[in-house]
A = this chain, B = another copy of it.
Amino acid sequence: LADRQRKPTMVDVAEQAGVALKTVSRVVNREPGVSENMAKRVNDAIAALGYRHNSGASSLRRIGQATASIGLVLEDVSNPFSSALHRAIEDVARDRGYLLLAGSSDEDQALERELVEIFCMRRVDGLIVVPSGDDHEYLLREIRGGTPLVLVDRPSKALPMVDTVLSDNFEGAASGTRHLIEHGHRQLAFLGDSLTIETARARLAGFKSALAALNGRGEPTVVTGLRTVEQADAALTEILARTDPPTAVFASQNLNTIGAIRALRRSQLHDKVALVGFDDVPMADLLVPGLTVVAQDPVALGRRAADLVLRRIAGDAGAAERITLQTTLIVRGSGEIRPT
């Protein structure tokens, strides 16, 4: 029927219905003050022509050029933590009539920036970013340009005055470490991500702070810069082979945790060396022993962030908020192994 190219426009619909263009616009946008009769004629014409509203054209003339969309920069859409965050934000956005655009930065500054630029070219009404690295001054331009911005999961040194939603990484790491100490451990190892990530720094600080209670009885083994399962596995394997190895391990990130499990298994130490991970992982309760973790709540993180951008989009110009969510220690077995 319709030829492959030109899609029907409001003018076509108006013609077909025998009404004015503006009446079609009113019906499509559900503006009040259209008679039943007119509305029916328009809707019939829309159905007959297979008309589809063009939101690009629509927002062009619309006040503030609102697009009813928000942009989300994640580390990686396929990472379980990121995708849980993604889904939570999607749900809130959809509820409020917004489309969510999401992309993966792979923890790369340049990619992050490219994504932000693409989203801004699409004129998103707001931005939610899990920031990578430390140099976020470019984001100030966007904020000044009038696009609300919310940071999730990590703060940015460069943007202290920006709305931020995060987990209490310091206290979470401290509580996981205390848990190990309370179970008698004195020789602890810490596996951490790259310290360019603010979150990684906070977790290491929490670990060290809890360790201070030992008053120097036992020096920790600290390895950072571990980005992948393989790196964490290799690092811990090496540590376990040392003379006088640690009796407990704190893995500060989910890929590190999985690497640690692999290393312990291979060394046949999974029942001897205690392990607490930061961030929950799927099926953690099905492992033997069950994996004890300091869990974040990505869904709550996402909801709060989404609520916040949407409030800013709606016009709230109050002071920048900093929302900190508590973590939860989930006891499943691996963290309760006592030193031998």
Contact = CB atoms under 8 A, between A and B. Distances in A.
Contact of A122 (B87, B99, B121): B99
Size class of the contact patch on chain A: 35 or more
A27 interface: no
Contacts of A99: 101, 103, 118, 122
A120 B50 CA distance: 12
A149 to B, nearest CB: 13
B121 A53 contact: yes
Given A54-B123, A64-B5, A103-B90, A282 B59 contact: no
Contacts of A191: none
Copy total for this chain: 2
Nearest to A99: B118
Contacts of A86: 77-78
A287 B282 contact: no
Nearest to A299: B78
B77 A90 contact: yes
A213 interface: no
A67 to B, nearest CB: 7
Interface stretch (A32-40, A127-135, A258-266): A258-266
A265 B76 CA distance: 33
A99 B104 CA distance: 11
